Amino acid sequence: MAVDVEATAQAFTRLFASPEFRQQMGEAGRQRAREVYDWAAIIPQYEALWAQLSEIRQAQAKDLKSLPHPWPARMDPFHAFASYPTQTLTPQTVLGLVDADVAMAIERVGAYRKLAMVDFAKVVLPSEAEIQAVFAAAGTPKPAAALIASVPAERQAFVFRALVWLVKLGVLRVVESAITS
């Protein structure tokens, strides 16, 4: 698109020539800012969103199951952040790689691990071998439970939680889920 120079010049001429028009436009701008950007307009929109998310969570709560052995050193992230997601990762949630190439996905995770916002949490992240096992399985989309099947049993719950992190980073993607949003 291009600016219509003649129409623009006419609009500026009208604006420069009329203090009343400038006053009217200024007041209209202030009114729009109050109607759209004032907290009195924004907060009700947030409240409506929160109510909608609460309805979705309540409708899907029947499908959620508590972990049999929560990790006592930290809160279970599924419990701590239960009100955040639009859907919850279940063993039946089908995940696949965003990149078709496993090596590229491993390289991306390696780059993410170097970031300060990720590096601080390295003690709670899966090992490189565990991530490689997940990615090797995710070459073809599979349920989350199948992605962690080759991980030692005592590490499976830990790596299962990390699948959410990998989805958040955009390395894994939800292909389909037992829960529909």
Question: 12-46: per-residue pLDDT in tens?
Answer: 999 999 999 999 999 999 999 999 999 989 999 99
The answer on 113 and 41 residing in a single domain is no
Q: Would you say residue 133 lies in a domain?
A: yes
The answer on 47 and 73 residing in a single domain is no
CB < 8 Å & 24+ apart, contacts of 25-29: none
The answer on 71 and 49 residing in a single domain is no
Tokens of 30: 């202030």
pLDDT at residue 180 is higher than 50:
no
State the number of CA atoms in the 13 A half-sphere of 40 facing the CB: 5
Residue with tokens 């009329």: 18
The answer on 53 and 86 residing in a single domain is no
Q: Would you say residue 162 lies in a domain?
A: yes
The answer on 82 and 163 residing in a single domain is yes
pTM: 0.50
Domain that includes residue 114, residue range:
64-176
- Residues contacting 131, CB < 8 A, separation 6+: 106, 109, 162, 166
Rounded CA Rg of the chain: 25
The answer on 124 and 79 residing in a single domain is yes
pLDDT digit string (tens) for 68-98?
Answer: 666 666 666 666 666 666 677 899 999 999 9
- Pick the last residue of a domain from 43, 58, 73: 58
The answer on 72 and 34 residing in a single domain is no
Residue with tokens 């190439």: 101
The answer on 68 and 15 residing in a single domain is no
Using the Cα atoms of residue 138, residue 142, residue 144 and residue 148 in order, give the sign of their dihedral: negative
The answer on 155 and 68 residing in a single domain is yes
Tokens of 38: 């004032």
**For residues 2 and 148, which has the higher predicted lDDT (pLDDT)?**
148
